[in-house]
Amino acid sequence: MKILVDVDNCIASGACVLECPEVFDQDDDGLVLLRTEQPAPEHHEAVRSAAAACPAAVIQIEE
């Protein structure tokens, strides 16, 4: 799994961090920061939930 984030469209909702803090973090402005582009398998389901939860649709997943 590879994650791509479009930071320019991020609105800092933090939905991804709340869903999967092991993979998603925020910078001081609250914009998404990826801890890793290729998360371990145990996080894949949470990453998919994070992508679905994002209100700005900025998380893209390549499986």
Partner 1 sequence: MTKQRTLERVIIVGGAAAGLSAAESLRKHGHQGEIVVVGDEHGERCDRPPLSKQVLSGQWESGRAILMAPARIDKINAVMHAGRAQRLDVAGHKVELADGTILDYDAAVVATGVRPRTLAGQAISGVHVLRTLADSVALRRSLGGGRRLVVVGGGFLGLEVAATARKLGCEVVVVEPVPVPLASRLGSTVAEQLLAEHAKHGVEIRCGVGAEEVLTTEAPSGRMVSGIRTTAGDVLAADTVLVAIGSVPNVEWLAGSGIDTADGVLCDPYCQAGSDVWAAGDIARWHHTGLGRSVRLEHRLNATEQGQAVGRNIISDSPVAFTPTPFFWTDHYDVKIQLAGVVPENAVERTELDEGGSLIRSFTQDGRLLGVVGWNAAKALIPYRRQLQASLVPA
By CB under 8 A, tell whether 28 contacts partner 1.
Answer: yes
CB of 48 to partner 1, least distance (A): 9
Torsion angles phi and psi, residue 34, rounded to 5: -85, 130
Question: Could you tell me the two tokens for 27?
Answer: 């910078």
Q: How far is Cα 57 from Cα 34, in angstroms, rounded to an integer?
A: 15
What part of residues 2-21 is at the interface with partner 1 (CB under 8 A)?
9, 11-15, 17-18
Which residue lies nearer to partner 1 by CB, 29 or 42? 29
- Is 22 in contact with 39 (CB distance < 8 Å)? yes
Which residue lies nearer to partner 1 by CB, 1 or 53? 53
